[in-house]
Structure 1
Amino acid sequence: MRASRRRRGPTLSPAYRAWLAENLLRGADEAAIRAALAERAVPAAVIDEALARARGSAELAGARAAIRGLQREALVGRLRRTLRATAPAIERRTAPSPGEFVARYWATGTPVILTDVVPRWPAFSRWSPADLRDRFGAAEIEMSIGRAADDDPDVRFKEHCRATTLGEYIDRVLAAGETNDVYLIANNRNLARPQLQGLLADIALPPGYFDESRSARCGALWFGPAGTVTSLHHDTSNILFFQVVGRKRFRLYPPDEPRLLAAARGVYSTLDPERDELAGAFGLDEVLLPGEALFLPVGWWHHVRALDLSISVAFNNFVWPNQFEWYKPGAPG
């Protein structure tokens, strides 16, 4: 950065003026600013003039006002996180009435695990790889394969989509052992396939929660071996996730976790809790057991690992407005 000369005399270059304004906004001491500029041979008169202009700048005053607003919002977020840390586990309970569910969990963005929904389903006593092969083995599906060689398979999920039958897929899963290579994921849209509509007959969603006329197109089937991983991300709708077979480990972080907001890219995060990249951040670490259902509030970050061969379904076709596509803090600026 160097002083530049114009007709009205020497002034700071645009790059230097931006540097000076940024430092003033950050609260840097003017003496330190003067010393830094003097070390770069900027004349004292130029420094005086630049500081005087910056102090009286309407743009700088506007920027300071905006920063004060952001600081207030950050303070509110800090208060929420501090209070939330007093409840370090997700509540497990029987399903509440729709009104109580909305008031206590939906409206407050609070995760909860429901323990009595899935055990009443025919699917809970019926679904297994053998059962699904016998009833739906010929059904044409889409699978995600070749994930293990990709360090970002969820972001690049389209590259891993392949057509197969459910029977052939089940054979792959049973032969695979523990791996993240093969998986049926939400983006495969298998629950909407006509040949798999019989699966919905084995499911009874909580009364008053869902518009069941939209269950096929708003539901997701997750099926894979132990070792499948869904990388850290958030959704743009509220979701109720039902664990039917096997266990899954969920690591959850609230929407306002600063480190995740800074590392957001689209709906995904560049951070990985399995590499201790979120050590010290407030999070909830829960193993979802067979027969349990987890309410995932919109915006909550979650990383999921299957601890066993796992079959799950998830739905977002609630009766309450549930479209939050605008919530993408990781979208490009």
Structure 2
Amino acid sequence: MAVRALKKLSTRRGRATLSPAYRAWLVENLLRGAGEAAIRAALAERGVPQEVIAGALAGARGSAELAGARAATAGLRREALAGRLRRALRATSPSIERRALPSPQEFLKSYWATGTPAIFTDVVPRWPAFSRWSPADLRERFGPAEIEMSIGRAADDDPDVRFKEHVRPTTLADYVDRVLAAGETNDLYLIANNRNLARPGLAGLLEDVTLPAGYFDASRSASCGALWFGPAGTVTSLHHDTSNILFFQVVGRKRFRLYPPDQPQLLAAARGVYSTLDPELPSPELAEAFGFDEVLLPGEALFLPVGWWHHVRALDLSISVAFNNFVWPNDFEWYKPG
């Protein structure tokens, strides 16, 4: 195995020694499986005396720290191998399953417990919202309601991370007028962080929604629900959530790009719950990653398991709601590998 490059040699007490950074480099290469001959050659090329190389190798080779690190690394390699097997098996499924909503017991066993996304086709069409909601309807019924919008997003290359900088108060009537005049844009959006479903003026929206029996704690729907409403072109950047979510598409289409939690390329690019990667830009990392590319149609509901990376683009003017107030324990706030 090739070794990583060195940059300098430090001197201490009149005698040439490897600096702490390069001793760490040496141990890292031993853990990675690089041969001692390759390590010696890399050091010698940079003028390190043979006696210094021999002393550094002997010190590392016999250290209790290296033995402990090797034991820990072996465990990580076993976990990585198990993850590779999971990914290989998962890759045999070319698309997300579309089906009628299962019973709560089947959902818990087949999707929740296994962390498997699914699209349910028969929930939203039963709602009053499905035949009723439109920009005009929302404006007529809830126009005076005070809400919070996100605006000025288009000029920001990271508007979801910096969402607080884009928060502005308005009325729903004003927001609807802005959306209808905007055309295709990511400049304005009602997002989960705006917490609009919890606002008193929009309480009537929940009367148009019937959450599946046995799935949700209805007493927490307002505080645990999210309203997404915006023009075609709105984008939610690649991220994962720390809870399971059922996402209901009422008006318009949204394109979801989803990647499993254990994809190494995504974990390496994690920054908090967001990713430095963008599925809409070419990248070797995402070219090698396994994922799903699905268009969620009006009337469909997507189960987003906790930890799954997802990037979302509205293909049309879109109205969606999402809820995480399941009856099962759903707080995974500790899951933040980034």
1:83-122 matches, within 5 Å, as: 83-122=89-128
Q: Deviations over 1:67-91 (max 9, x none)?
A: 1111111111111111001111010
- Which residue does the alignment assign to 1:227? 233
Residue 322 of structure 2 is aligned with which of 314, 318, 323?
A: 314
CA deviation profile, 1:160-198 (whole Å, cap 9, x unmatched)? 010000001000000001110111000000000011110
Tell me what 1:35 maps to.
Answer: 41
Equivalent positions of 1:52-63 (< 5 A) are 52-63=58-69
Q: Runs in 1 of length 4+ with deviation above 3 angstroms?
A: 3-7, 9-13
- Counterpart pick for 1:281 among 289, 301, 304: 289
Cα drift, residue 6 of structure 1? 4.3
SS of 2:287's equivalent in the other structure is coil
Identical columns (%): 84
Match among 135, 150, 156 for residue 150 of structure 1: 156
Instruction: Check whether the contact 2:239–2:311 (CA below 8 A) recurs between aligned residues.
Output: yes
Query: Could you tell me how far 1:19 is from its partner in structure 2?
Result: 2.2
Post-superposition Cα deviations, 1:234-272, rounded to whole Å, max 9, x if no partner, equal 000000000000000000000001111000001000100
The 1-side partners of 2:29 and 2:278 are apart by: 33
In the alignment, which residue of structure 2 is the partner of 1:126? 132
Aligned residues: 329
**Mapping for residues 106-255 of structure 1, pairs under 5 Å:** 106-255=112-261
Offset of residue 11 of structure 1 = 4.0
Give yes or no for the alignment of 1:66 onto 2:64: no
In the other structure, the counterpart of 1:21 is 27
Q: Gaps spanning 5+ residues in structure 1: where?
A: none
After superposing the two structures, state which structure 1 stretch, 179-188 or 34-43, moved more: 34-43
Q: Deviation digits for residues 85-133 of structure 1, max 9, x if unmatched?
A: 1111010111111000000000000001111100000000000111111
- d(CA) in 1 for partners of 2:155, 2:331: 34
Query: Which residue of 276, 279, 302 maps to 2:310?
Result: 302
Which amino acid letter does the alignment assign opposite residue 11 of structure 2? Answer: S
SS in 2 for 1:17: helix
Q: CA separation in 1, counterparts of 2:19 and 2:303?
A: 54
The question of whether the paired residues in 2 share the 8 Å contact of 1:238 and 1:296 is answered with: yes
Task: Note if contact 1:116-1:292 (Cα within 8 Å) is conserved in structure 2.
Answer: yes
Q: Which residue is equivalent to 2:269?
A: 263
